[in-house]
Every structure is written in structure tokens, then in C-alpha cells.
Amino acid sequence: MELQGKVALITGAGSGIGKAAALRLAREGAMVGALSHTDDEIRKTAQEIEQAGGKAIPLVADVGDEAQMKKAVDDLVQAYGRLDIVFANAGINGVWAPIDELQPKEWDRTINTNLRGTYLTIHYAVPHLKQAGGSIVITASINGTRTFTSAGATAYSATKAAQVAMAQMLAVELAKHKIRVNVVCPGKIDTEITENTDKRNTEEAEVPAEFPAGRIPLTGNEPGTSEEVAELVLFLASDRARHITGTPVWIDGAQSLLV
């Protein structure tokens, strides 16, 4: 129970990595503000935590909406009195298409969710984290940080690269407040985000990549699990990582070293 008495805000907690992290941190004693834009799924996450003996409140908000995110953070702090951990995980793959076919509204939607959403989450959380220090963890990706072979994923990859830069800037800025900022960069993980990707004419933007057999060497091409990423989030959020900040950690079974 190494997070006993701590309060954690987790965005994108209705499914996948966010849900796995919410359940894992709750098992370690954290009181969780589980946030999603979908009411039904986030209430299920909160209910699962409560049924397992933990504490959680569901927060419904669009991470790209200023007013909704301010209210969500305020509601969480009002409920539990403090904020110690932020897992800025919400994100979308969005539309993957050649740059001359990718429409401005499609670009804006990906930027709004992935980058503005991360900014707003941290923007409203930091005043509370400054009270006693804490940890911020951001979900980026191998795309845009170590691999560049996902055809048409320009908007997505740009947001992921920007999240790493944001974390490194903030690691320096917030260090004096005892706030650490780190990034997890997953490869192929067993979530629904790939199925929700809208790909259009990506073969036009594709350049073949050659690599040894087995795109995920550690597992023989089996994807990692959301629970494995949640374990990394727990470590970075905990005092065990007290001297780690400004650090991206790739969790991909060596996938990004080949592709």
C-alpha cells in the first residue's frame, strides 16, 4: 500500500492503459479520480475500484475542454482534499493520412485531445501538486519519439514528440516544487486505440521498413499488456522513483529498436 493517503487523477481511465493504471494505483491505496469523456465506462471503472475495496470517484470531461477540466480537477480536490499524482493518459490516434490529404479539422482534433488535453490536465493540477509535491506521468508513444514508420501518423506523432518535450521542460520548471514529470512511451499494447484509428490512403505515405523477424523481439510479436504499463506508471508515481524526472521510458519489448 505504498500510495496510501495519496490522491491520483487519471485521464482516459475508462479503458485500456488508463483503466489498468486506475485499478493498480487504487490497489496500492491511492484515492482515484477516474476521468473519461464517456459517462458509462468511467462509472464502471470507479465501481470496480470500489468493489475491490478502494476509493474512486468518476469524473466526466473532455480533456480538451478548459471549463470541463477545471471543474473535474476542482471536484476531485474537493472530494479528497489534495492531489499528489497525475497520469495524463487520455489520447487518440485520430486520422492517419498523407499530409496533403489530412484535413485541418482532423489535425486539430488530434492536437486538441493529445496535446491541449495534456496541457489542460497539468495546468489545472499543478497548483494543487505544489502544496506537497508529487508526480506527473504522461502517456506518449514510440511513434514520434523513437519510430517514424507509421504511415500518415504525422499529427499523432507530432503530439507524442511534443509531450516528451513538454515533460522535459516541466521537469526543470517544477523541480523546485518537488514535482517530478516523466513519460511512458508504449509500443504495441493490448488496447482498443489501434482499432479506433481512422486510416485513409496511408499506402501513399508509406516507406517500407526492413527489420529482423519478430517486430517485438522480447515476446515474439505478442503485444504488451495494459497491466504491464500500469506497473511502470505505479513505479514512476511512487517514491521509488523519487530521483527520476524528465525521463521518457519506452515500454515496447524492443519493438522501436527495429521498426
Residue with cell 471536484: 75
- Measured between alpha carbons, how far apart are the two ends of the chain, in Å? 38
Taking every pair of Cα atoms in the chain, the longest distance, rounded to a whole number of angstroms, is 53
Tell me the C-alpha distance between 195 and 193, whole Å.
Answer: 5
What amino acid positions are annotated as catalytic residues? 156
Contacts for 158-165: CB closer than 8 Å, 24+ residues apart: 158/111, 159/91, 159/110, 159/111, 159/114, 159/115, 160/114, 160/185, 162/115, 163/114, 163/115, 163/118, 163/138, 163/139, 164/140, 164/248
User: Which helix (H) or strand (E) element contains residue 134?
Assistant: strand 134-139
Instruction: Single out the residue of 254, 30, 1 nearest to residue 137, CA to CA.
Output: 30
Residue with cell 499530409: 99
CB atoms within 10 A of CB 5: 11
Instruction: Single out the residue of 52, 185, 195 nearest to residue 34, CA to CA.
Output: 52
Tell me the C-alpha distance between 168 and 149, whole Å.
Answer: 24
